Structure formats: structure tokens, C-alpha cells
Chains A and B, each alone.
Chain A
Amino acid sequence: AAGVIQSPRHLIKEKRETATLKCYPIPRHDTVYWYQQGPGQDPQFLISFYEKMQSDKGSIPDRFSAQQFSDYHSELNMSSLELGDSALYFCASSLGAGQGSNYGYTFGSGTRLTVV
């Protein structure tokens, strides 16, 4: 079965550079979520999209932005990178939760970003 695909798997950037992470959700999933997980930390919710519209924002820095495209893939753009941005970034997809329905998330394998 198709899973959530994230690219690249690893990324090394220097401080103040920009990075773009990509996420391809499971076909027919209409909701995409981004999470950041620092070393030894639990995953932190950054932002989500439902049907190509931003649906919620979590602890996403202003230097980061994201969007969901017409083919439902999503990109997380990160600018002015800082050492503290080094983390695993996970994308997940699901069907949106609605009254009378609730679905599990499927997570990708993540992108490991290292800022040097």
C-alpha cells in the first residue's frame, strides 16, 4: 500500500540558508499535517492543511511557511535557518475528522534537517 512520501530524507544546510521539504500524502487523503521533533523531544504540531487550505497553525515560527498544492502534496519552506531548527520533520496525512467519523494519521519517515 502507498505510504506518505517525504523528501529529501536528509538535508544539511548552513545557518541563514533556506530549505524546502516535500510531502506526498496517501492518495485520497485530504488533510496534511507537519510536525517537528527535536532531539529527545515529542513531536510538535506545526501546521495543517485541509483541501488545500490552511486549517490550523501550531508552534510554527514566522520564518516557516507551508502550502498544499492542487495535487495535494505539501511543501514546508524554511528560511533564515537557525541551529535550533535541526530536527526531524514529519509529515502525516489523513482523512479530515468530521462529526461521526474519525481516522488515524499515516506518518512519513521524516526528513532529518541538520543546520550547521
Chain B
Amino acid sequence: DAKTTQPNSMESNEEEPVHLPCNHSTISGTDYIHWYRQLPSQGPEYVIHGLTSNVNNRMASLAIAEDRKSSTLILHRATLRDAAVYYCILRGYGGSQGNLIFGKGTKLSVKP
């Protein structure tokens, strides 16, 4: 199974940008890179996903390395509400490859 590696924790100051890295050196050509976050006592929340090109949405940006072996989730201006565990997950096609398998995410703390 393709795996991802993320730092256990990161800290940020409020209203500053945050760059959350993810390594996925064994990614296959058909794996999409998904990011989810989980606030305390809540269900995981979809953030963004991409395949090869960088992606932007209202929540964040996803920068994908040219060789696709790493990616970075970018929160442009962190707020206190962004404090959560962020998961980088690879999702393939069909059957079990289409399931999201959560690993160890990055716990982001945001300081006022």
C-alpha cells in the first residue's frame, strides 16, 4: 500500500501562512493526493485533493512536486479555527484502492 509520512506536529502563529509537508515516495501514477483535517471531537473534513497540478480552493492550496513524491498543503492565513490534525492520504481507483486509509497526521497548533 502506498504510504505517506508527515511531521507529528507543527506550530503556527495566527494570520501567518502554514506549509504542511507530506512525503509519499511510493505513490503510483493513479493515486490522488487527498488532505483532510479533523478538529477535536469532530468528524474528518475534506480540505483538498489533486493528481499532478497544483490546486487551489477556498480553504487551502495544494502544491505537488513535479515527481509527485511529495506535496505541501498551504493555509494562507492561519486562524485559531485551523488548529486540527491534518492527514495526507493517497487514494487510488476502485475497490480497496479507493478507500481512504488514515495514517499519522500532523497536529497543527495555532498561537494567537
Contacts and interface: CB of A to CB of B under 8 A. Distances in A.
Given A97-B92, A97-B94, A110-B43, A102 B99 contact: no
B44 A48 contact: no
How big is chain A's contact interface, by range?
20 to 34
A107 interface: yes
A58 to B, nearest CB: 7
A107 B105 CA distance: 17
Contact of A105 (B46, B92, B104): B46
A45 B99 contact: yes
B102 A43 contact: yes
B102 A42 contact: yes
A109 B103 contact: no
B30 to A, nearest CB: 7
A4 B38 CA distance: 16
A31 B96 CA distance: 12
B32 A105 contact: no
B51 interface: yes
B27 to A, nearest CB: 13
A48 B101 CA distance: 12
A99 B51 CA distance: 12
A54 to B, nearest CB: 11
Contact of A107 (B44, B49, B85, B93): B44
Interface string A43-75: 111001000000110100000000000000000
Interface of A: 4, 31, 33, 35, 42-45, 48, 55-56, 58, 90, 92, 96-99, 102, 104-110
23 contacts: A4-B43, A31-B98, A35-B102, A42-B85, A42-B87, A42-B103, A43-B44, A43-B102, A44-B102, A45-B100, A48-B99, A55-B95, A56-B99, A92-B43, A92-B100, A98-B94, A99-B93, A102-B93, A104-B34, A105-B44, A105-B100, A109-B43, A110-B42
